[in-house]
């Protein structure tokens, strides 16, 4: 890996995983303007290798630092799973937010904390 002169969080030799979704261009899209393009409200985002942008089936990639996640060297063998793990983690985060909206007697009941998240494929399934 080589890095540009303004890159601060990565260095040659670092392991890294690149994210796929890029924000839409619309000023009215608050989530994209705040770096949360996973919640884009316009649908005009791009996703590398999925929607409107080339993917990573190449030997070399150049990308903006903000879309690159540094990976600890100890995770080298499983780092490829980071991107799908983020999808599952987002589903779990959203489930936790929803659980907080339950009345106290349901929120504190472990049997009420089971969930299945649909729409993210098998990696989006989560249950407790």
Q: Which candidate, 100, 99, 86, places its Cα nearest to that of 128?
A: 99
According to the binding rule CB under 5 A, does residue 21 interact with Zn ion? no
Q: For residues 128 and 120, what is the distance between their CA atoms, to the nearest angstrom?
A: 17
Q: For residues 33 and 87, what is the distance between their CA atoms, to the nearest angstrom?
A: 20
The residue among 39 and 70 lying less far from Zn ion, judged by its C-beta, is 39
According to the binding rule CB under 5 A, does residue 42 interact with Zn ion? yes
According to the binding rule CB under 5 A, does residue 68 interact with Zn ion? no
Q: For residues 45 and 117, what is the distance between their CA atoms, to the nearest angstrom?
A: 22
Stretch that binds Zn ion, among 20-28, 66-74, 92-100, 109-117 (CB under 5 A): 20-28
Instruction: Determine which residue in the list 17, 40, 68, 88 makes contact with Zn ion, applying CB under 5 A.
Output: 40
Stretch that binds Zn ion, among 2-10, 19-27, 72-80, 117-125 (CB under 5 A): 19-27
Q: For residues 110 and 21, what is the distance between their CA atoms, to the nearest angstrom?
A: 35
């Amino acid at each position: 890996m080589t890095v540009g002169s303004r890159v601060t969080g990565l260095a040659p030799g670092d392991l890294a995983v690149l994210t796929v979704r890029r924000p839409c261009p619309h000023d009215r899209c608050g989530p994209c303007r705040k770096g949360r393009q996973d919640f884009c409200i316009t649908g005009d985002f791009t996703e590398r290798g999925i929607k409107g942008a080339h993917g990573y089936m190449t030997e070399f990639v150049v990308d903006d630092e903000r879309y690159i996640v540094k990976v600890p060297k100890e995770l080298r063998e499983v780092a490829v799973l980071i991107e799908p793990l983020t999808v599952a983690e987002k589903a779990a985060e959203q489930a936790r937010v929803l659980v907080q909206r339950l009345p106290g007697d349901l929120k504190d009941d472990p049997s009420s904390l089971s969930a299945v998240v649909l729409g993210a494929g098998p990696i989006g399934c989560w249950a407790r």
